[in-house]
Chains A and B, each alone.
Chain A
């Protein structure tokens, strides 16, 4: 059982480049989330989705975009990478409040 998978595990971007962080879950969960974690800080919500075709902004959405064309996939897009987007990105999905399953994370470095 794969759970929540994220690719890539690590990426270095130059300022102004774009990239898509992939997230896939195989648990048929409707709810999916993207968080970022900066050093010494807690996780902050970027975007979330309550089902295919429905997305909404979280606490820190600026500089990011998402789409949810299927139940399984919830990609996060960075259009113009900035050093402030250097962080670890976690995708999660859930069936109920306490069972929010997290992926292993993508470490992004923007130089």
Chain B
């Protein structure tokens, strides 16, 4: 049972354009969502997060949007740069009540390629 899904295995974008990565979830108990970025032969690194009490969070070129009714979130990268080429993972957790112990459920990842 895949509770967090990233249905696009790959995305190719031109430098300077917008990259939009999508993520869907099924578990309504999830209330905190994160995006991680991973380069080859390295561990994932935290990029940006959003709580379910918000519908948008912005950090520089990166913005995450959350649509709770649709159980959908997206990561927008504007403008995209070649250095953004990596695998992007969406992750979710249940934060309320403090019983999740930070356990994350990950999507399958989307390979983003930004062409110069």
Chain A, interface SS category: strand
Q: Report how far A31 CA is from B34 CA in the complex, Å.
A: 18
Given A43-B44, A104-B41, A104-B43, are A97 and B34 also a contact pair (CB < 8 Å)? Answer: yes
Q: Report how far A4 CA is from B41 CA in the complex, Å.
A: 14
Q: Is B81 an interface residue (CB 8 A)?
A: no
Interface size on B, residues (CB 8 A): 25
**Could you tell me if B102 and A100 are in contact, using CB atoms closer than 8 angstroms?**
yes
Q: Is B61 an interface residue (CB 8 A)?
A: no
Q: Report how far A105 CA is from B87 CA in the complex, Å.
A: 15
**Could you tell me if A97 and B32 are in contact, using CB atoms closer than 8 angstroms?**
yes
Given A90-B43, A99-B46, A104-B42, are A43 and B106 also a contact pair (CB < 8 Å)? Answer: yes
Chain A residues within 8 Å of B49, by CB = 97-98
Q: Is B113 an interface residue (CB 8 A)?
A: no
Chain A residues within 8 Å of B80, by CB = none
Q: Is B9 an interface residue (CB 8 A)?
A: yes
Question: Which bucket holds chain A's interface residue count?
Answer: 20 to 34
Q: Which of A48, A56, A92, A98 contacts B43 (CB 8 A)?
A: A92
Nearest-neighbour CB distance to chain A for B24, whole angstroms, equals: 13
Given A31-B102, A42-B4, A48-B101, are A100 and B108 also a contact pair (CB < 8 Å)? Answer: no
Chain A residues within 8 Å of B46, by CB = 98-101
**Could you tell me if A97 and B43 are in contact, using CB atoms closer than 8 angstroms?**
no
**Could you tell me if B101 and A42 are in contact, using CB atoms closer than 8 angstroms?**
no
Q: Report how far A97 CA is from B101 CA in the complex, Å.
A: 8
Nearest-neighbour CB distance to chain A for B107, whole angstroms, equals: 5
**Could you tell me if B107 and A42 are in contact, using CB atoms closer than 8 angstroms?**
yes
Given A40-B9, A94-B102, are A102 and B108 also a contact pair (CB < 8 Å)? Answer: no
Q: Is A58 an interface residue (CB 8 A)?
A: yes
Within B18-71, the residues touching A (CB, 8 Å) are 32, 34, 41-46, 49
With A43-B104, A100-B102 known, 6 other A-B pairs at CB within 8 A are A4-B43, A33-B103, A40-B108, A43-B106, A90-B44, A104-B43
Q: Which A residues lie at the B interface, using CB under 8 A?
A: 4, 31, 33, 35, 40-45, 48, 50, 56, 58-59, 90, 92, 94, 97-105
